[in-house]
Amino acid sequence: MGCGDAESHAGRSRAVTDSALGRFEVGLSGWRLRHPLPGGLRVSVLRHGESENNVLGIECTDLVNKDLYGLTPVGVEQIEHIAEQEYD
């Protein structure tokens, strides 16, 4: 895994990491990048909004089914809200 050093730090207080994390305050701030990104490149991630298969409790992941289920109205609102929040 290339993160033996990570293991040596496991179990230390999460609260400390939470103080200076900005967007990583939910437990992610203390993780270090195993493969640093090139300088200047910024990568952000977002998990899609609530979708119809989530609500129905149906697994759908492969290419055959990938277009069956879209966002619910709640999912659309979630993403619109994020778009407004993050717009700058």
CA dihedral of residues 19, 24, 26, 31 (deg, nearest 10):
-90
Q: Which residues in 50-79 contact other proteins (CB under 8 A)?
A: 50-54, 57-71, 75-76, 78-79
Minimum CB–partner distance for residue 8 and other proteins (Å): 9
For position 1 contacting other proteins by CB under 8 A, the verdict is yes
Total number of residues that touch other proteins (CB under 8 A): 69
CA neighbours closer than 13 Å in the CB half-sphere of residue 37: 7
What is the per-residue binding string for other proteins in 14-53, x denoting contact by CB under 8 A? x-xx-----xx-xxxxxxxxxxxxxxxxxxxxxxxxxxxx
Question: Could you tell me which residues come within 8 angstroms of residue 70 by beta carbon, excluding any fewer than 6 positions away?
Answer: 51, 52
DSSP state of 67: T
Q: What is the CA radius of gyration of the chain?
A: 18
Give me the residues that bind other proteins (CB under 8 A), please. Answer: 1-3, 6-7, 9-14, 16-17, 23-24, 26-54, 57-71, 75-76, 78-80, 82-84, 86-87
